[in-house]
Amino acid sequence: MINHRADHSPDTEPQIADLPLTSISKLAPFSALISSIIFVIYFFIKNYILEGFLLRRMYGSMYTNLSDANRRGFLNHHIAGATKIVILIIGAYPFIAVAMGLKSLYAPYSKGSAVMLGDILVVASQMLIAMYVFELIYRPKVSPISMFHHVGAIMVGQSAIAVSLNLVRQKDADIEFILCCVWGAFDIVSEFLPHTAIILYRVYPSSHKFLRNLFRTAFITTLTGTIFETVVVMYLFGKLWNRWTLAFKIVTPVLHIAFSACQLHGSCIFWKMMKRQQNYIREAAAGEDIGPMEEGRKAEPRAVEALVQ
């Protein structure tokens, strides 16, 4: 196995710099097939489970009374949230083991398993990419910031896998893939709560104290997640500066700015929604007529729909 990084000291570079140079996974050439299978699964889940009976049975008239646009957004939150939970369950161990330099991409997922850590990470990346494509196609309106974020994530994720198929010309494709996994990990962890928050907003629209605390928590987690993500990504990017190709040196900061702008956009909306809930609580305590509150609540879903990142 080739290892052109063996002469680098682990004291000066992250552990992933000393991983042996290998292809990402034996599944890398079949990433398009994996994505296609995931799209088919999404189709069956959307048509025959969520739209078929589950959402109506779970939420009743709250779901059926939504407009078509809001119903699509509500369903999309369930698809996105469930996808991120599955990715977190299957991908947490491979990501931590590989990113920390504890194991290689070709280490078995479990003792005696034919499935490798890299195989799981490729499948997980395709699930996340398919989720973004599904949202771009299914939702009637996507904000420009979210569109830029999703398109960028799709292109850079697929490109990292594609370039790994030619290790002679792209000698750091595995590190590029791991950096993409770092982006994806932060997206899954810090952006899971927004999906849950919007679902709960639909279910409990009059529980203002609960929603205020929920939106405050979502604001804090998305903001701190963005800051921590920037520190980690820029640390890895700077420490491995001499390893990146010129294209990746240019694309990485641009994509990270787009990702961070999208996440900060969501944080700002959560802050505004939290302040609005505080106003509802203040007006109710003062004994004011709830009529204006209801009018304000009718205008709020448009801002809520912009939160999916």
SS3 at position 116? strand
Answer yes or no: is pLDDT of 203 > 90: yes
Give pLDDT, residue 144: 85
* Mean pLDDT for the stretch of residues 172-184: 84
Q: What is the pLDDT of residue 307?
A: 52
* pLDDT, position 284: 86
Contact 82, 204 (CB under 8 A): no
Q: What is the pLDDT of residues 39-76, one digit of tens each?
A: 999 999 999 999 999 999 999 999 999 999 899 999 99
| Packed helices 173-190 and 192-203: angle between N→C axes, nearest 10 degrees | 30
Task: Please answer whether residues 3 and 20 qualify as being in contact, where contact means their C-beta atoms are separated by less than 8 angstroms.
Answer: yes
Q: What is the pTM of this model?
A: 0.86
**pLDDT by residue (tens digit) across 118-161?**
999 999 999 999 999 999 999 988 888 888 889 989 998 898 88
Q: What is the pLDDT of residues 219-276, one digit of tens each?
A: 999 999 999 999 999 988 888 888 887 878 888 888 888 888 888 988 999 999 999 9
Q: Are 145 and 262 in contact (CB under 8 A)?
A: yes
Q: Rounded to an integer, what distance in angstroms lies between the CA atom of residue 16 and that of residue 156?
A: 19
Structure tokens at 23: 């292809």
Question: How many residues in the chain?
Answer: 309
Structure tokens at 160: 């990292």
pLDDT at residue number 296: 44
**Choice between 298 and 218, residue whose per-residue pLDDT is larger:** 218
- Angstrom distance (rounded) from CA 288 to CA 292: 9
Please determine, for residue 170, whether its predicted confidence score (pLDDT) is greater than 80: no
Strand partners for 108: 116
**Most confident residue range from 24-28, 43-47, 110-114, 176-180:** 43-47
DSSP letters spanning 237-253 = HHHTGGGS-HHHHHHHH
For residue 3, pLDDT over 50 is answered with no
